[in-house]
Amino acid sequence: MNHPNPSTTEVVLRAKKDSIQKQRAGQFLFVRFPKEKPLAESHPFTIASAPQEDVLRVTIKACGDYTRHLFSNLQAGMDAVVEGAYGMFDYKTGGQKQIWVAGGIGVTPFLSFIRNLEADLAFDIDFYYTVRHREEAIFVDEIKAAAKKNPRLKAHVRFSATDGSLTVEEIAKIAGGNISGHHVYMCGPLPMVMAFEKKFVEAGVTAGNIHYEEFNFR
């Protein structure tokens, strides 16, 4: 268990008996901590680790009663029960040119993507990670190191309080002006995702090429 910033908990889970069942980077699972009463109810969290790791990592922001209690009271060694993995958020099914947009704790599925990158990355990716203040950003060094190692991955970290809000117009300009053929992957606060989706469609991206993290069962 780690605290990458003053409001976020990284929970590291290791299987006691059966191996951890994971399928693809970017999926989510349900977690509960049965011996800690306020945390005994299952909640969904995105898996931030790569499928090949021998642990599960979930990175959780304290923003509600459950997650605030988890931040303050979760102790190393607590038993957890997990169910999953679920979800269809998978950049590998998209086209060659991609735009990733993460807002706040919505960076978690992209961390899984990055931690699972292959040496010969087959996609051209512009990854935008936006938070309001610099201290809110997590794992920035890891993200930048991945981009340095993979020339086809370009990382853009944005602090909106000082840099201004990220816009689709800016994203399109950096991409060369025409993003109609790009696949877009987004995760973050729902109002942000909905606003960006509208702007991406207006910029020529077809709705079928816009993907965002949802807790969908398949």
pLDDT value of position 3: 87
Strands 153-159 and 28-32: unpaired
CA–CA–CA angle 199, 60, 209 (5° rounding): 25
Can you tell me the distance from the alpha carbon of 171 to that of 202, in angstroms, rounded to the nearest whole number?
13
With a cut of 90, say whether residue 172 has pLDDT above it: yes
64-89, pLDDT tens digit by residue? Answer: 889 999 999 898 899 999 988 898 89
Average pLDDT over residues 19-25: 73
Percent of the chain with pLDDT over 90: 72
Strands 8-13 and 2-5: antiparallel
pTM of the model: 0.91
Q: What is the DSSP string of 54-85?
A: SSEEEEEE--SHHHHHHHHH--TT---EEEEE
The rounded mean pLDDT for the chain is 91
With a cut of 70, say whether residue 215 has pLDDT above it: no
Give bridge partners of residue 102 from the DSSP assignment.
129, 187
Structure tokens at 203: 């910029």
First to last CA, the chain: 30
Structure tokens at 12: 């590291």
With a cut of 90, say whether residue 171 has pLDDT above it: yes
**What b/e readout covers 23-60, taking b as 16+ CB neighbours within 10 angstroms?**
ebbbbbbbbbbeebeebeeebebbbbbbbebeebbbbb
pLDDT value of position 218: 37
Average pLDDT over residues 11-37: 85
With a cut of 60, say whether residue 217 has pLDDT above it: no
Average pLDDT over residues 115-144: 94
pLDDT value of position 176: 92
Local confidence band at 103 (pLDDT 50, 70, 90 cut-offs): very high
pLDDT value of position 119: 82
Can you tell me the distance from the alpha carbon of 137 to that of 2, in angstroms, rounded to the nearest whole number?
15
